[in-house]
Chain A
Amino acid sequence: MSEPVIRTVALTRDYPMGGETVRALRGVDLEIQPNEYVAIMGPSGSGKSTLMNLIGCLDTPTAGQYWLAGTEVSRMTDDELARVRNRQIGFVFQTFNLLPRATALHNVELPLVYAGLPARERKQRAAEALASVGLGDRMEHRPAELSGGQRQRVAIARALVTEPSIILADEPTGNLDSTTSEEIMKILEELHRTRGQTIVMVTHEADIARHAARVVTLHDGMISSDKLKAA
């Protein structure tokens, strides 16, 4: 078996809150292999957002270890984590999180800007990424000129433009109607199938989670179930 993309051991995250400590994650052991398509489910307060932030290197654990693509990232500094986010992770957010004043093309270019790529190469790769999500003709549009589904497609293009180890999708369809949701799920599935892209998706909708091959359910900061969908 190949090396896991994600491996966490006893991952713990506590938040101090008004003199008390909220234990958001209480020792999560999780391994995700390359090319997997995993959904993380759980009710609100189960710790799935916290786990998402830790996997996405936006936050550091209180205790426990986390290896991303073979490198321990749980003890890294802010700037090292920024580098890891830039190279290894592509985020897709529920609220799209596009820069409102920038064109679709510039939004997709942005991770490459921070990667230090020259402008010409950035533009070319961003244009390719937009074309791959079917927005080749919307590159100069600003987010306000795009529909919700189109915005989320721009966000997906932005996530995959750096060819990251994993795409982390946080409730990617939470702000979309069901038809558009299906459209977005199709694109993610397509990425998974044709590119072998590893996808980790947080959702509370079982409908959406069924697109994944594996469903990890969290409860009270711990994994309560981890099921592979019957092939």
Chain B
Amino acid sequence: MPIYEAIALALGMIRAQKLKSFFSLVGAFIGVMFLIAVVSIVKGMDKYVQEDFAAKIFGINTFTVNRRPGVQFGNPGDATRRAWRRRPQLYEDDFHAIRAALPDSFLVAIESSNQAEGVVGTRHSAYIQVSGVSEDLFKIRDYQIAEGRIFTPEEINHSANVVVIGKDVADSFFTGVDPVGNTIRLAGFPYTVIGVVEKQGNVFGISLDRFAIAPYTSAIKKVVNPHKVVDGIIVKSPDEPTMHDAMDRVESIMRSRHHLRPAEDDDFHLDTQEDVLSFWNKIAKVLYTALPMLVGISLVVGGIVIMNIMLMAVAERTREIGVRKSLGARRRDILAQFLVESATLSTTGAVLGILAGLGLARLVKAVSPLPMGVSPMSIVLGIALGVGVGIIAGVYPASRAAKLDPVAALRFE
């Protein structure tokens, strides 16, 4: 019997026995649904982290000199934490040394941040990301100014209390009022707003627009860091190859400034986009390791259910098998008929699972900041698993059907 006729026959059987078919589909359905949903979400995250997150947080061809790693997977342990605490601070002078050592095509900036309270009139908010920076930071971050201007090197030199604020800060403190020229108190210090940065959006639902950026020399330095100490020094190189050269260069500058001997490890850290990516890749790996177990269990259960349903079907249709044999069906015809039926069942489950999985991923995307990305491979895999489970689960029942004695089968009531 040609395969398409066998499939049509099997689909007819599924339609005729809807409830029973539904139960036998459930296992394959759930397994494949998980597969598709998880892969879609992880893949969406993947794309998001690579394209959006890493670029937004770190920027392309950008690295940051930090006292300790900015992103860390798992618990580094108390000993490591203590070692990090013993590391020397980074100072404004380190910034000047790095700036002097790199060509002008490189952008170098200080960034020191803290949460601080902002107050305008009667409005106040405790959680504003307040940063003390040098002027290149705006270029490194590629901040477009929506209103007003950024501060000048002169304002940095004179420790002017001027501030450029994010869109959220502008909207929440200056509703209906032009923020530029107005005063905002940051950690108690009065600042004049000179500019507003265009909306940056959010990552994982966290707004990137709740910030205020002031010269690192201005009044807030008192609440951000000890005197002359900075959080990080950010370097952006014009392209990728020069970034790695610059990293080597900065590393040797910092080592010599910290008087490290060749055998000693760095007592500072260069954070790059790759750190975020490798952090994410570790999470993705955990998810991808757990996924096959989840999917596997559902499929095994689904396979057992299908096998039982098929055994019942063979018993119920003994007479039909006898009739088919009397009309000339060979063992392999009967075997193929039941294998196709079983595979069709589980594949139908898999197809429904793919639809539900995509729906689930879409739902997750709609109600959470998590993105989704459809992986064609996971759909192919889902179908292949459906067919495979059906065939494996169908082998035993189908071979029992094929071996039935026609005389006994015809006599079966």
> Interface of A with B (CB < 8 Å)?
53, 56, 58-59, 78-79, 82-83, 85-87, 91, 93, 97-99, 101, 110-111, 113-115, 119, 158, 162
Indicate if the CB atoms of B328 and A115 lie closer than 8 Å.
yes
| Total chain B interface residues with beta-carbon distance under 8 A | 23
Indicate if the CB atoms of B16 and A101 lie closer than 8 Å.
yes
| Chain B: CB-nearest residue to A81 | B406
Identify A78's interface contact among B5, B327, B331, CB under 8 A: B331
Identify B330's interface contact among A83, A97, A110, A158, CB under 8 A: A83
Indicate if the CB atoms of B410 and A82 lie closer than 8 Å.
no
A-B contact pairs, 24 of them (CB 8 A): A53-B407, A56-B326, A58-B326, A59-B405, A78-B330, A79-B331, A82-B328, A83-B330, A85-B325, A85-B326, A87-B328, A91-B326, A97-B410, A98-B323, A99-B320, A99-B323, A101-B12, A101-B13, A110-B327, A113-B1, A114-B327, A114-B329, A114-B330, A162-B328
Residues on the A chain within 8 Å of B333, using CB: 82, 114
Residues on the B chain within 8 Å of A83, using CB: 328, 330
B286-340: which residues lie under 8 A (CB-CB) from chain A? 319-320, 322-333
Interface string of B1-28 (1 = CB under 8 A from A): 1000100000011001000000000000
Residues on the A chain within 8 Å of B331, using CB: 78-79, 82
Residues on the A chain within 8 Å of B410, using CB: 58, 93, 97
- How distant is B344 from chain A, measured CB to nearest CB, in Å? 15
With A and B bound together, what is the CA distance between A111 and B326 in angstroms? 9
Residues on the B chain within 8 Å of A115, using CB: 328
| Chain B: CB-nearest residue to A91 | B326
Residues on the B chain within 8 Å of A97, using CB: 319, 322-323, 326, 410
Residues on the A chain within 8 Å of B332, using CB: 79
With A and B bound together, what is the CA distance between A112 and B327 in angstroms? 9
- How distant is B11 from chain A, measured CB to nearest CB, in Å? 12
Residue of A58, A79, A158 contacting most chain B CB atoms (<10 Å): A58
- How distant is B318 from chain A, measured CB to nearest CB, in Å? 12
With A and B bound together, what is the CA distance between A98 and B323 in angstroms? 8
Q: When A99-B320, A101-B12, A114-B333 are in contact, do A86 and B406 touch as well, CB less than 8 Å? A: no
Residues on the A chain within 8 Å of B405, using CB: 59
With A and B bound together, what is the CA distance between A69 and B154 in angstroms? 113
